Amino acid sequence: MRSSSGFRVTAMLCALLLAGAACTGNKGKGDDVDIRSEADVTRQVQQYAEQTATAVGSTLTNAAASSAPCEGRAGELSEDIYYVQGTYQLPLAPDKHLATLARIRDQWRGQGYTITEDRTFPDSAEGTVAAKTPTDGYRISLESTSPPTMLALLIHSDCYRSPQPR
């Protein structure tokens, strides 16, 4: 039996938050982390969201972006090393979910993204596709809600060092 959309979206958010806390992007932690302002990273997250919404043919709703400290090599947290996560919903007719997810997967693959998840759920018109961007290591996930009236979009940046102590 499939879980409800609230549970699935919550579980997906928790998984991304845990991944973010571990700061598992391309960059290491500490001195080798790129320096970038939180505003710049948030703008990049928003840009990926807008590009995805355009490709889906929908609009972004319930948008939220926030930052959190990344975890260092020894498990330490630093307010100066952070990641940004954006969460969005994209309204989409139920009969368009699987075709749209397949089209987005193919588009991302064509843009050089690494597809990290691509699956459909048995006996439903629901699925998920996730990828990692080639240039900056951002992770993007697009998943059907249940019932499939929306696509949940999650975008997670790599870890960055703030240019100004926070």
* The dihedral sign for the CA sequence 135, 138, 143, 149: negative
Tens of pLDDT, residue by residue over 20-30, are 444 444 444 45
Which helix (H) or strand (E) segment holds residue 141: the answer is strand 139-144
Tens of pLDDT, residue by residue over 60-76, are 999 999 999 998 778 88
Q: At residue 46, what is the residue type?
A: Q
